[in-house]
Amino acid sequence: MGSSRLPECVMQPDELRLVQIIFDRIAAQSWFSRKIADREQFALYILRMYRRGLVVPEKLEAVCTLAAQKYYSGSASDLKGRRILVVEDDYFAAQEMAANVRAVGAVVVGPISNLSDAMDVAGQDRDLDGALLDVNLGGDMVYPVAGFLKMHCIPFAFVSGYDERVLPPAFRNTPLFLKPTDWRSIASAVPHR
């Protein structure tokens, strides 16, 4: 991720607050490393990105979230035996996603291809450790499932062809992986308990 030197710049209090808020949101994710050195390096990374001109809060957070998932997420072995719900309506994408989640040691629940079945499984399976949710399931938005998971403190991420602007405000801090994507990277960064 680069040097651990603090970027040489003067920042206004509101700029520092923005950087702090973004750090807090990302570092609070269940998948984010708990190592102090990783957290310090990541804070410096956010400052460097801001200094380089990435000053739009949503864009800064999106770029930093991707970097955090790549460099500061827990190891894939953290998923061994974890039950991960996979909700995806495209058959081939669902099979690829499920295979890659299994490849990192997780137990796949699903894949589920429609909203009704996804709600049933989420409501009945009390042992879920995390979930990957396609945003649009054949015209139905997955937000009821996401709301249920959030209400029950089950971590999840969206996998979608849509960008973050389509997400309701309640889910804008949820990890979002854009399609087409590298399923292996997603599988190793699945949010989980």
- What kind and span of H or E run contains 61? helix 57-71
Asked if residue 171 and residue 87 are part of one domain, the reply reads: yes
Cα 149 to Cα 40, 62, 134, 173: the distances in Å are 30, 22, 14, 14
Q: What pTM was computed for the model?
A: 0.59
Which of 33, 52, 71 is at the close of a domain? 71
Q: What is the pLDDT of residues 41-50, one digit of tens each?
A: 999 999 999 9
Asked if residue 84 and residue 55 are part of one domain, the reply reads: no
Pair 88, 97: CB distance under 8 Å: yes
Asked if residue 57 and residue 86 are part of one domain, the reply reads: no
Looking at the predicted structure, is the pLDDT value of residue 28 above 90?
no
Q: What is the mean pLDDT of residues 126-155?
A: 90
Look up the domain containing 176 and give its range.
Answer: 76-188
Mean pLDDT of the chain: 83
Count of domains in the chain?
2
The answer to whether residue 21 is domain-embedded is yes
Asked if residue 127 and residue 38 are part of one domain, the reply reads: no
Asked if residue 114 and residue 51 are part of one domain, the reply reads: no
Q: How confident is the model at residue 76 (pLDDT cuts 50, 70, 90)?
A: very low
Q: How confident is the model at residue 186 (pLDDT cuts 50, 70, 90)?
A: low
